[in-house]
Amino acid sequence: MTIKLSPSSMNLIEDCPRCFWLQIVKKTPRPAGIFPSLPSGVDKMLKEHFDRFRDNNKLPPELKELKDIKLFENKDLLKTWRNNLKGIEYYDEENDVLLHGAIDNILSKEGKLIVLDYKTRGFALKEDTAHHYQDQLNIYNFLLRKNGYETEDYAYLLFYLPEQVMETGEFKFKNELVKMKVDVEHAEFLFKKAIKIIQGDMPEPGEKCTFCKWSHQNGKW
């Protein structure tokens, strides 16, 4: 049976190889808490917002500082790449592993593609905030290149941060655009590492993994 991987599942590798192995091989994911619906709602509205500008061949004001860049024009293809159940895919036939990821948006510059990912946060950005999404951006670019597309060596994270509540009761958000250098070679390294972990025995847990620590203390293994 084909093993399916995504950027979110591969994020577990560096955090805890055992949790990754359990999720992929034994279909036993970490316990999930209640996930707020607000980020999903904002994400949907942002895609619609950007699509309105795409239809008019313009950039939204959030990207006004970018030069010689436009929104990716192929709406049908972008619709597929945005689909959480489909996304953009790469199939490793030798190991029967399918890697797929759903992309928020794509920019283009002189024939090369640039990944644009939206993020909502409740607090101001810290120095290392963007770093937490590095592997995700690397993997998206890895997938695009495996599908025959040229990409720039950078991507963008667009953060939306609540700023104030107006007298009318409306929320006002500010946005921050962060340019990130991408490392496709590291994404390929992670992909190969994921395959190696999947094909092996249950690995040791991550040193700081509280889930594995709890399981050990409660006699799960």
Q: What is the pLDDT of residue 211?
A: 86
Q: What is the pLDDT of residue 30?
A: 86
Alpha helices in the chain (DSSP H): 7-15, 17-25, 38-55, 75-82, 134-146, 184-199, 210-217
Q: What is the pLDDT of residue 123?
A: 87
Range of the domain at 47: 3-217
Is pLDDT larger for residue 150 or for residue 30? 150
Tell me the pLDDT tens digit for each residue of 92-126.
999 999 999 999 999 999 999 999 999 988 888 99
Domains: count for the chain: 1
Considering only the C-alpha atoms of the chain, give the largest distance between any 2 of them, rounded to a whole number of Å.
Answer: 60
Q: What is the pLDDT of residue 97?
A: 98
User: Cα Rg for the chain, rounded, in angstroms?
Assistant: 19
CATH at residue 193 = 3.90.320
Q: Do 177 and 63 form a contact (C-beta atoms < 8 A)?
A: yes
pTM summary value: 0.92
Coil/strand/helix, residue 175: strand
Distances in Å between the Cα of 192 and the Cα atoms of 88, 126, 141 are: 18, 31, 16
- Residue 144: count other Cβ atoms within 10 Å of its Cβ: 23
**Which of these, 188, 87, 97, lies nearest to 146 by C-alpha position?**
188
Tell me the pLDDT tens digit for each residue of 27-54.
998 887 666 676 788 899 999 999 999 9
Q: What are phi and psi of 27, to 5 degrees?
A: 55, 35
- Residue 19: count other Cβ atoms within 10 Å of its Cβ: 22
Q: Which residues, 6 or more positions from 129, have their beta carbon under 8 angstroms from its beta carbon?
A: 121, 159
**For the chain, first and last CA: distance in Å?**
26
Q: Do 155 and 182 form a contact (C-beta atoms < 8 A)?
A: yes
Q: Do 87 and 101 form a contact (C-beta atoms < 8 A)?
A: yes
Tell me the pLDDT tens digit for each residue of 164-219.
999 999 889 899 999 999 999 999 999 999 999 999 999 999 988 988 887 766 66
Q: What is the pLDDT of residue 148?
A: 97
Determine the average pLDDT of the residues in 140-154.
98
Q: What is the pLDDT of residue 132?
A: 93
**How is residue 14 written in tokens?**
């560096």
